[in-house]
Amino acid sequence: MESLKKFSPAFYVVIILLFFLPFVNLSCSGQTIMSLTGFQLITGAEYSQQNIFDQNMPGQQDITDIKQTDKIDSQPFALYALLAAIVGLLISFFRNKAFALINTIIALLGAVFLIILKINIDGDAKISGQEMIKIEYQSGYWLTFILFIITAIVFWLIFREKAPVAAPVNETQPPASPQQ
């Protein structure tokens, strides 16, 4: 358990690094429109709309020169999950039971923020895309979620660990002599 205590801050470091991986792919008719990392979900992203198949339909004017840029709004729950990881990292350097319990709660909050983020993104896609846009959650999202859960379990185990009990020394009896 001691080695687990030593490496417990590393869980949060990995979670923070996972925000650089793709969290969400947006696709329409089986073609990926764009991929968003965790940090892009936090800051928002701009993208240009163009014909999905990059070709014109019969009777349609040439729109290859016309590009319309739209913005994907920032997602506050992605920011909350990142902040939970940063705060958890800072607190994980304190090594007592109270901080282990606080870290358990922070890791669970990070996982809850990711669930709420998923619900919000799914709801936004249904409203804006009339169910034509499909959301695919990528490895960055799922690994971050799983690592938040694992981190919560690890800190719960650290919290539940029993302190070593020193054997009472009985000074009234002489020490046992080795038998020959």
Tens place of pLDDT for every residue, the chain, 180 residues? 566 677 788 999 999 999 999 999 988 777 888 899 999 999 988 766 554 445 444 555 554 555 556 677 889 999 999 999 999 999 998 888 889 999 999 999 999 999 999 999 888 777 765 567 788 999 999 999 999 999 999 999 988 887 665 556 655 665 666 665
Task: Kindly state the tokens that stand for 55.
Answer: 């070709």
Which CATH number goes with the domain that contains 74? 1.20.140.150
Across 2-160, the runs of DSSP E, i.e. the strands, are 22-28, 31-37, 45-49, 68-72, 133-137
Residue type, 99: F
Task: Kindly state the tokens that stand for 145.
Answer: 């979620």
Is residue 44, in this structure, part of any structural domain at all? Answer: yes
Name every residue whose Cβ is closer than 8 Å to that of residue 178 and which is 6 or more positions away in sequence: none
Is residue 176, in this structure, part of any structural domain at all? Answer: no
Residue type, 86: I
Is residue 92, in this structure, part of any structural domain at all? Answer: yes
Is residue 170, in this structure, part of any structural domain at all? Answer: no
Element (H, E) at 41: helix 38-43
Give the domain extent around 97.
7-51+66-160
Is residue 167, in this structure, part of any structural domain at all? Answer: no
Is residue 178, in this structure, part of any structural domain at all? Answer: no
How many domains does the chain contain in total? 1
Is residue 139, in this structure, part of any structural domain at all? Answer: yes
Cβ contact 77:114 at 8 Å? yes
